[in-house]
Amino acid sequence: MRRQELFTIKQVSEMTDTPPHTLRFWEKEFEGILTPLRTKGGQRRYRREHVTLIERIKELKSQGASLNRIRTSLFHEENGHASQPKALEHFVECLVEVIRKEIYTFLEQSLGESDRPSSETVLRLDGDSKSGR
């Protein structure tokens, strides 16, 4: 059986011209997709497939793709669905916008004109507004 070639994070960084901190960040961002092996001491070891995957991430990033879009693309490529329909992606984006507008309209109608929330208040996810609550 042929032994598989493994690379350190420094070697992969040099091979792909990607800083080590970016490789660690991508490991967290693309959990389950980009998962290097670990030595007993916890050091990362990358296989040739990982290097190819990192090059693919860089390619998608250079095309302006968001991390979420890259994650989706990689997931579908990994599972044999290389061409995710753009129509579905566009539909999801439109749906999110419609829901956002509906929530804002609901809040406007529910609150009096003087209590109208600022866009900052509506966008806060923690429920804590600047009104002193």
Largest CA distance in the chain: 75
The 3-class SS string of 101-114 reads HHHHHHHHHHCCHH
Give the mean model confidence (pLDDT) for residues 84-99: 68
Say how far apart CA 18 and CA 70 lie, in whole Å.
Answer: 16
Sorting pLDDT into bands at 50, 70 and 90, what band is 116? low
Q: How many residues does the chain have?
A: 133
Q: Where are the alpha helices (DSSP H) in the chain?
A: 9-16, 20-29, 48-62, 67-78, 86-110, 119-123
Q: Among residues 38, 42, 28, which one has the least CA distance to residue 6?
A: 38
Domain at 9-78: CATH code: 1.10.1660.10
pLDDT one-digit tens code per residue, 71-88: 888 887 776 654 445 556
CB 116 within 8 A of CB 106: no
pLDDT one-digit tens code per residue, 16-72: 999 999 999 999 998 888 999 999 999 999 999 999 999 999 999 999 999 999 988
